[in-house]
């Protein structure tokens, strides 16, 4: 099976005053299509920074100074903003480790499930809603036809993690 994500020699630096200081140094990883990868580490170890870099992004004051990040053959370090925009939400996404932080409390779960596919022209709202219900069913959420029409605060933490 071919590699979906390949990170080689990743070095990420953060700016402090007038100097760049290493934050992440020498990360290598490979993810094949169909695999799942989790990053584990202490708070502040750089998990989120690596996760964002895996999409070719960094936060303000941070840069990828060395290495390569290839997603399905596309070098995201060198890719234009337009190429990254085309991939983001359609082929690659970042999921925060906190389920509660991943959802907007002002919008129902189903609205948040359908937003990406509809906005990117991948699916219609009705087809995406059906997809959401089927996903909730597979995840064994209670009342899969109804749960998506609740707000994040109206479901349990475990249900929110699965949603």
Biggest alpha carbon distance in the chain?
A: 55
Within 13 Å and on the Cβ side, how many CA atoms surround 58? 18
Rg of the chain on CA atoms, in Å: 18
Per-residue pLDDT at 99: 67
Q: Which fold has domain 3-87?
A: Rossmann fold (3.40.50)
Q: What pTM was estimated for this model as a whole?
A: 0.65
The ranges assigned to domains in the chain are 3-87, 101-162
Per-residue pLDDT at 88: 85
Q: CA nearest 128: which of 142, 109, 143, 141? A: 109
Report, as ranges of residue numbers, the positions in the chain whose pLDDT lies below 50: none
| Residue 64 bridge partners (DSSP) | 12
Convert the pLDDT of each residue in 86-125 to its tens digit: 888 788 887 766 767 778 889 999 999 899 888 888 889 9
Q: What are the backbone dihedrals phi and psi of residue 85, each rounded to the nearest 5 degrees, phi first?
A: -60, -40
Q: What are the backbone dihedrals phi and psi of residue 142, each rounded to the nearest 5 degrees, phi first?
A: -70, 145
């Amino acid at each position: 099976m071919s590699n979906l994500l390949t990170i080689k020699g990743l070095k990420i630096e953060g700016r402090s005053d007038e100097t760049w200081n290493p934050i992440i140094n020498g990360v290598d990883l490979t993810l094949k299509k169909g695999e799942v990868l989790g990053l584990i580490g202490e708070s502040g170890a750089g998990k989120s920074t690596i996760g964002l870099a895996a999409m070719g992004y960094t936060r303000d004051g941070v840069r990828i100074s060395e290495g390569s990040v290839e997603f399905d053959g596309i070098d995201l370090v060198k890719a234009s903003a337009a190429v990254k925009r085309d991939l983001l939400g359609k082929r690659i996404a970042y999921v925060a480790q906190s389920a509660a932080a991943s959802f907007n409390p002002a919008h129902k779960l189903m609205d948040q499930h359908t937003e990406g596919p509809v906005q990117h022209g991948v699916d219609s709202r009705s087809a995406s809603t059906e997809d959401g219900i089927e996903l909730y069913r597979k995840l064994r959420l209670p009342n899969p036809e109804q749960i998506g029409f609740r707000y994040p605060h109206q479901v349990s933490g475990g249900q929110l993690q699965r949603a």
